[in-house]
Amino acid sequence: MGPGRIAGGVRQENQEQEVGAGIAMSDTVPVVIYGDEYCAYCAAARMLFTRKGIRFEDVLVSRDPARFDEMQARSGGRRTVPQIFVGDVHVGGFDDVCSLEKSGKLDKLLAGEAAGQHSH
């Protein structure tokens, strides 16, 4: 196992700082990134949330077929990584999360608002 990883291929980023738009860590909904270790877009998504100070669950689907099946079921059958969820909202991939970030809708989702919801 590499640094920052725990058994089962899940890693938690532990950021306790406040983030932009006045959103405190305790006010954000759970974020899950389904990805793998070698995916550049997965790494970019991790960096985006880390830079914002948002804690996330990093699910390495390449190591756990059951979690890959879970990702597919939650994302409407998508097989590519990353697949990103903010709460129960399927945001999509890295391009989708970047679009939400640029429009300001990502912070609203993180605060629990339904703005920017994607339906896949």
* DSSP per position, 46-65: HHHHHHTT---EEEEGGG-H
Domains located in the chain, CATH noted: 13-110 (3.40.30.10)
Inter-CA distances, 91 with 40, 44, 50, Å: 18, 15, 17
pLDDT by residue for the chain (120 residues), tens only, comes to: 444 443 344 444 433 333 344 444 546 799 999 999 999 999 999 999 999 999 999 999 999 999 999 999 999 999 999 999 999 999 999 999 999 999 999 999 999 986 444 544
Sequence-distant (6+) residues with CB within 8 A of 107 are 19, 20, 21, 23
The answer to whether 60 and 35 are in contact (CB under 8 A) is: yes
